[in-house]
Amino acid sequence: MRRLLIGFIALVVLIVLLSVATLCFGAVNIPFADVVQTLFSPGANVSSNILWNLRIPRMIAAILAGASLAVSGLSLQTVFRNPLAGPFVLGISSGASLGVALALLAGIGFGSVGVLGSAALGALLVTLVVMFAATRFAQTGVLLIVGLLTGYFIDSIVSVLIAGNSSESLRVYVAWGMGSFGRVTLGDVWIFVFAVIVGMVLIGVSLRYLNAALLGDDFAHGLGLNVKRSKICVLLGASLLAGATTAFCGPVAFIGIAVPHLAYLLFKTTNHRVLLPGAALCGTSLALLGGLFPASVPLNAVLSLVGVPVIMWVLVRGSGARM
């Protein structure tokens, strides 16, 4: 219990420090005292414009994206009992990317709500494909192959859309594909928050199933749980979290697959009542850290520095203690 408390306190303190750094440092450094004054007494000065139009939305986007991808990845790894499962590897992020490509390049969608809906639908469709594969094949490794193939297939569709589009929307999509927390506005934040809350609730109501799913669906069914309904809730929640993050921040890699293992390494438990909030805090910390780097450094390149070693550690270690 003491270890858990120390871990949560340390992560909260780290998030607070990284959040302060996000608000204070950038192309124009703003003293901490000015940040505090601006937060409580917004004005029309330069510092206020920078904070409210750029840095506060970027900080909130990093917090939401990090928590969403981490919880989504942990849930998928548990449902499929595969330590390498995640929204990026299983192709869910690619599905969300296709939805955004259709919204931006084909003109399907109405503002942020349309982009978000398209991304969520694309993520859900890929999730259903992977779920169907899970019912047909006993080997969990097949899921990774299905996800990779689906990702390649979706990428080819996106390439066709790009080849047939030469408008301003193409440049917007290419910039979106680089991944960034900096393009979210205060108006977008509320939609992002709503999507994340719905996704978290769908996964949160299935905590008992997630704890039992590690031992198999038969075990969960023996406990009197509605396995089908619980699994659908988890997959819908994971898809919505991944889709919302991809819609607003672009394809953000490695958080969904690496952070759950970092959370397990820190808390040493398979109880999802601890792992889910722990993974959310770890994902938030990593996203805020990645967002501190200059805009000239691609976000996914920064996240790879942490994600690749963690994935290699999982491969060398074997199937993982949680699975």
Predicted TM-score (pTM) above 0.85 = yes
Question: How far apart, in whole angstroms, are the C-alpha atoms of residue 285 and residue 276?
Answer: 14
**What's the confidence (pLDDT) of residue 72?**
94
Tokens of 162: 């790009």
Helix axes 92-105, 227-249, angle to 10 degrees: 50
- Contacts for 260 with CB less than 8 Å, ≥ 6 apart: 70, 73, 74, 77, 275, 279, 322
* Percentage of residues in the chain having pLDDT higher than 90: 28
pLDDT at 167 over 80: no
Sole residue written with tokens 């909260």: 12
pLDDT at 50 over 50: yes
Question: How far apart, in whole angstroms, are the C-alpha atoms of residue 95 and residue 127?
Answer: 9
Top pLDDT among 255 and 40 is at 255
Top pLDDT among 143 and 55 is at 55
**What's the confidence (pLDDT) of residue 197?**
96
- Contacts for 269 with CB less than 8 Å, ≥ 6 apart: 4, 275
Q: What is the pLDDT of residues 93-134, one digit of tens each?
A: 888 888 888 887 776 654 555 677 777 788 878 878 877 876
Q: What is the pLDDT of residues 214-233, one digit of tens each?
A: 888 788 888 888 888 888 88
Side chain identity, residue 323? M
- Tell me the pLDDT of the chain averaged across its residues: 84
Coarse DSSP helix, strand, coil percentages of the chain, rounded to the nearest 5 percent:
75, 0, 25
- What would the DSSP string read from start to end of 75-136? HHHHHTT-TT--TTTTTHHHHHHHHHHHHHHS--S-HHHHHHHHHHHHHHHHHHHHHHHHHH
Q: What is the pLDDT of residues 20-32, one digit of tens each?
A: 999 999 888 989 9
Top pLDDT among 314 and 156 is at 156
**What's the confidence (pLDDT) of residue 107?**
67
**What's the confidence (pLDDT) of residue 319?**
46
Half-sphere exposure of 103 (CA within 13 A, CB side): 26
Top pLDDT among 170 and 268 is at 268
Neighbours of 204 (CB within 10 A): 18
Cβ–Cβ under 8 Å, residues 250 and 176: yes
Domain spans of the chain?
Answer: 68-251
Cβ–Cβ under 8 Å, residues 189 and 262: no
Indicate the pLDDT class of residue 236, thresholds 50, 70 and 90.
confident
Which CATH fold would you assign to the domain 68-251?
ABC transporter involved in vitamin B12 uptake, BtuC (1.10.3470)
